[in-house]
Amino acid sequence: MQDFTGKVAVITGGASGVGRSLAFSLGRRGAKVVVGDVDQNAMAETLEVLGSEGIAAVAQVCDVTSVESLTQLAEKAESEFGGIDLVFANAGIGAGESGAMWDYSQKDWQWCFNVNVWGVINTITAFMPRLTAANKEAHFVVTGSGNGAFLVFPDAPIYTASKAAVHAITENLHYQVQAANSPVKVSALFPGPHVVDTGLFNSGRVRPEELQKEGTGNESGINCVDDMKEMAAEFGIELQTTHPDEVAEMAVEGLQKDSFWLLATTEETDEKIKARASMILNRETPVANMVGG
């Protein structure tokens, strides 16, 4: 998709982090933007700033754990702008887990999988029939993570497991639209190459009341990137970060090339991926990577 002028982009989790940056990156290229999010305050602020830049945009409260809510978002896009050209299944949370997984609250697992995994499934259910029925060039983009898709970091088992599932779903969706000779392209977005400075670490602000964990004791203590930097520094590690705007630009440039892999890595990450593949092929005993991304 070389030209985004007049294209309609729907972004879940679009009021903060990578989703918000995608809204501005696409809007500045002439796209019309539909922002869906559960954070009403952040959504109102994002919509106001988009408007101040002259970007055509609308917003609607959207809970990706509900197909009905996502269907309403799709209907909003169609009624306001006449169609849909790009869908970003971007909403995601971090459960903030720490310690032994057998001590976790079941509600941590439920919440993370409801948003990260079922959120993607529900977005596919609500939007893919519309995109395929239109039978025109379109993109469906899923935000995943190398933490789960490529590597396994034991400091965040719930998040890692959810993103492993997300990538399997994304790649299978890609194969299915290929087999159908559909003009819809599927892409897998991996924010990076470093830890991205987003609100993911403060996901508790949007945690539903019914899924509040029972008791305390397995919180990570990380509520923002600065907390992660301080923790890394205690181990003599200088944590590098990536701004969400960099991720959005990388993603949009990849979409212009119809790339499946919207991915930026470092030499260190590439070596870890190679080492993991080698470990599997050579039947070696896994050794943990302790710092996730």
Tens-place pLDDT, residues 181-228: 999 999 999 999 998 988 777 888 898 999 987 765 456 666 666 766
Compute the half-sphere exposure of residue 66: CA atoms within 13 Å on the CB side of its CA: 12
288 found inside a domain: no
173 found inside a domain: yes
164 found inside a domain: yes
Q: What is the pLDDT of residue 293?
A: 41
287 found inside a domain: no
Range of the domain at 175: 8-281
1 found inside a domain: no
Which phi and psi angles does 5 have, rounded to 5°?
-60, 125
27 found inside a domain: yes
pTM of the prediction?
A: 0.93
291 found inside a domain: no
CATH of the domain at 190: 3.40.50.720
8 A C-beta contact, residue 217 and residue 103: yes
Distances in whole angstroms, Cα of residue 251 to Cα of each of 15, 19, 46, 213:
17, 11, 20, 35
293 found inside a domain: no
Name the domain count of the chain: 1
The rounded distance, in Å, linking the Cα atoms of 267 and 155 is 22
Pairing state of beta strands 8-12 and 32-37?
parallel
Segment 68-90, tens digit of pLDDT: 999 999 999 999 999 999 999 99
Q: What is the pLDDT of residue 228?
A: 61
Segment 124-134, tens digit of pLDDT: 999 999 999 99
